[in-house]
Structure 1
């Protein structure tokens, strides 16, 4: 099983990765000053996530926590049936009931299997949210630059710029973007078919519902695209607290303000694994690891390893290659989006002497 982990996310029909740009020395190649500049990257924080499918139980606690943390509206089953769900993270499930699939991703329900095997297939739950692509397809198609990449590697949304073309949702291979077809936050969700039509419509709720929302997160309006932000409000809060603590420590030394020297990396970097996103905070099985990819001691680096070229560039001489888990892989890797969120494949190793052992462990990396 382990030897096939690196192939996860790849398809046999994937074409060769041939550059569309002209090589150096050709007639159209231009050595400009702009071309020599490196990408803007923060040398303090580069956020990433790893989800362990071995420990994920599919309990949906991460979905509930994300909805509460980020003021995600409840749209009702009528809107969900029309494909207008708003949750930022979903729980995909894959099923398997045979020892060896016919081909990758497909199973053959053989009549030779016992009835309890075919009637009770094993499953793999897989939480899927925005994976924060380094080469995000959604960013290139937005005509108003409403979805942009931050210096810390987060694919962020500028709600005030968004005009609702939904090009980004069409171009997202992970289908992790959500669109506000109505202003769901200004309606009474207990009335069937009740939708707020906009500023010219009747306001149906008072001030009380606003008390249940997170004041640190923007409430989105009609016609705006939204998605997972890696709980950016928590990240910013952690960075502010780190700066405040360093200020207290420096002044406690008795030095004057102009005499205080601050090391941007050591003093301003958030402490290892001190910040948690909402889904990670609610996960009872600790299946979600989140942290700074530039911090070699963080849990997410130990799971993923140093997989980003930007890590090597930023750390320079201090760069140390860290071998991550052999189970680590990227979802839809052949698309070459270079996601910041990766997965640790599910692997089972049942005792061969156990009765019906050959029917156990079917939903492993063979069906990812």
Structure 2
């Protein structure tokens, strides 16, 4: 079978591409995601325990200049002498930031281990969460190779985590109800409780709102054409979201427009043009662009979020120009 024959939804298949050439590691995407999706703050105590809740993390990779080595892998000095133990050059290391969230795997390891089907795959290719099913086994987090899931160890949204030891007091702790953080929540996003796993959803609330809007437009056009309201039929094709009309919170906040998001079945979309060339394969898919790659591709998770590799073209007359952009092999 060809690729399109295996799709449950032939109208929408969502995906994302992140251009590492453009990303500057400013963390604006993290803040925007936290505000859009009602992600709680946990306080300094919990952060120290590794219990931060933000759905996006900013990985930073450092590289130092790589000098010529002999046959044994040792650095050769300019005068030709070989060093028994290579030392790393720590001056002016290069930095490559990489934002990582749930990559919406098509073969998601988290889905297969959940005993209550709290994490499921939608017809549009999203790895979705049913919060009211989750019983907090955390099997999904242990099985996620990208470590992109977050667990609510406490009722962060109900208790004030900024007060020392307040989270450990349970029902006796000071509540946040009625305060400004409570009033800042997005009414279109569920507020999670203690014992529930959560992660990036590709801002599914925005996707659903866009489809509802298309349905309303189709219905209004049918009424204008004189079709009786009882005879109006809205099919899947009528729900097709316009090209690049939906933007995720992280995409909107990115100052360098490093994030592309959209429908992978729409060849006019920005994300499709970022990921693929126009060369059609025999299986109905298109060849990826040379810079496009999947993180941990060898484990076969088939993620929907891919990255565009960082490319540098330094002036050859610059010192150490031939080593710029190259990470060490160690």
How high is the TM-score relative to the length of structure 1? 0.77
Q: Say whether the 8 Å CA contact 1:58–1:91 is kept in structure 2.
A: yes
Instruction: Indicate the residue corresponding to 1:153 in structure 2.
Output: 125
Structure 2 residue aligned with 1:82, among 15, 25, 49?
A: 49
Residue of 72, 88, 92 corresponding to 2:39: 72
Residues 147 and 119 (structure 1 numbering): CA distance in 2 closer, same or farther, change over 3 Å? same
Structure 2 stretches lacking a partner, 5+ long: 79-86
**3-state SS in 2 of match to 1:184:** coil
Q: Does 1:278 align with 2:242?
A: no
Residue 225 of structure 1 corresponds to which residue in structure 2? 197
Aligned counterparts, 1:234-249, within 5 A: 234-249=206-221
Q: CA deviation at 1:186?
A: 1.5
Distance 1:268 1:325 in 2: 30
The correspondence of residues 147-186 of structure 1 with structure 2, limited to 5 A, is: 147-186=119-158
Which position in structure 2 is the counterpart of 1:54?
21
Paired residues, number: 313
Cα 1:227–1:110 change in 2 (3 A) is farther
Number of the residue aligned with 1:344 = 308
Contact kept, 8 Å, 1:117 with 1:359, in 2: the verdict is: no
Measure, in 2, the Cα distance between the counterparts of 1:202 and 1:358.
59
TM-score, scaled relative to structure 2: 0.86
Q: 1:312 to 1:50 in 2, by over 3 A?
A: farther
Aligned to 1:29: none
Partners of 1:293 and 1:126 lie apart in 2 by 22
Contact conserved, 2:58 with 2:98, CA < 8 A, in 1? Answer: yes
Match in the other structure for 2:296: 332
List aligned pairs for 1:246-285, cutoff 5 A.
246-257=218-229, 264-265=236-237, 267-285=238-256
Q: Secondary structure at the match of 1:280?
A: helix
Instruction: Give me the whole-angstrom Cα distance separating, in 2, the residues matched to 1:298 and 1:185.
Output: 37
Q: 2:90 & 2:152 partners in 1: Cα distance?
A: 40
Q: 2:101: which partner in 1?
A: 129
1:124-167 deviations in whole A, cap 9, x for unaligned?
A: 10000000000110011111111100111101111111111101
SS of alignment partner, residue 170 of structure 1: helix
Provide structure 1 residue ranges, at least 5 long, that are not aligned to the other structure: 1-37, 314-318
RMSD: 3.0
* Equivalent residue number for residue 84 of structure 2: none
Measured at CA, do residues 339 and 187 of structure 1 come closer, stay the same or move farther in structure 2, by a change above 3 Å? same
